[in-house]
Amino acid sequence: MSSTAALLEAAYSPIPINKAFYDKVANTEGRKLTESFILPIRSGKAWKVNAAQVFRISTPEGPQVGDLNLWNANDPRERFWASRTRQLQAAHVTTYDRLWSTLPFLRPMTTIVYDSMDKYGVDHDGGRVHDLLGTRCDPYINKYLTGVDRDFHCHSNLVRAVKPFGLSEFDVHDVLNVFQCTGLNNEDKYFMKTCPAIKDTYIEFFAEQDLIVALSTCPGGDLSIRMWGSDDSSKGDVDDDPALACCRPLKVEVFDISEEVVKDWKPWDIPKYGGKHGLENE
């Protein structure tokens, strides 16, 4: 059986990437910082990013996993599609990879322009970083597994984060697990490893459209301890709870890019599918 990727673009496809352009975007010269905040442990926050801006997610105090969601700010029905991104890009993403949106829109929402972990590669267990294989932790599966109600899973963090934007739990979707190291074991089952990020590791995204972005600081922290410890809140005595000690904040920064760099950039159009899904024959 062939191991060639299933989805290959034709020569006329718009999918091939202009790396030179995104290298210019990644150059920090001439940038202007427009927003910056720290996201505390076991919490979530949503914010807006304008098309042609860059947002950076970093680890100011050391390794920490973050769960990322995206929506079109002008029409939140268009949102990040993790499974199609796995097919078009990879199961673990890095510089030059795009995060694609759902049907019927199917276009890049962001492009990764810099990843300070891009040399991590594949470790001895088969682990890679910036995971699209898994999804967010949630209180429903936790109830199945443990019988316990916990409110500070990534799913719940994202639900709280998007509420000010008029979105709800039904809008929260599969995530990009930023800084998370995962893979498939010999039984073809999903595994997670301790986050290999260090202090001030960061990844940057170029917004291909106006976005609502939401991020959760995973309650598993750097995933060095299984499950979530004795305290399911964002508070508690770190010295008394190792599961809190492995949790750290994330930092978010949003930048304007110089007009000279983005002067020829254009937002993506929706694919010009001309059919009607066969409905005209009914």
pLDDT in tens, 166-222: 999 999 999 999 999 999 999 999 999 999 999 999 999 999 999 999 999 999 999
pLDDT of residue 236: 45
pLDDT of residue 65: 98
pTM: 0.93
Q: In three state form, how does the secondary structure of the chain look? A: CCCCCCCCCCCCCCCCCCHHHHHHHHCCCCCEEEEEEEECCCCEEEEEECCCEEEEEECCCCCCCEEEEEEECCCCCCEECHHHHHHHCCCECCCCCEEEECCCCCCEEEEEEEECCCCCCCCCCCCEEEECCCCCCCHHHHHHHHCCCCCCCHHHHHHHHHHHHCCCHHHCCCCEEEEEEEEECCCCCEEEECCCCCCCCEEEEEECCCEEEEEEECCCCCCCCCCCCCCCCCCCCHHHCHHHHCCCCEEEEEEECCHHHHCCCCCCCCCCCCCCCCHHHC
Domain spans of the chain? 31-68+86-260
Q: Is the pLDDT of residue 155 over 90?
A: yes
pLDDT in tens, 107-122: 999 999 999 999 999 9
Q: Is the pLDDT of residue 275 over 60?
A: yes
Q: How confident is the model at residue 238 (pLDDT cuts 50, 70, 90)?
A: very low
Tell me what the pLDDT averaged over the chain comes to.
Answer: 91
Q: Is the pLDDT of residue 241 over 80?
A: no
pLDDT of residue 12: 60
pLDDT in tens, 49-86: 999 999 999 999 999 999 999 999 999 999 999 999 99
Does 147 or 170 have the greater pLDDT score? Answer: 170
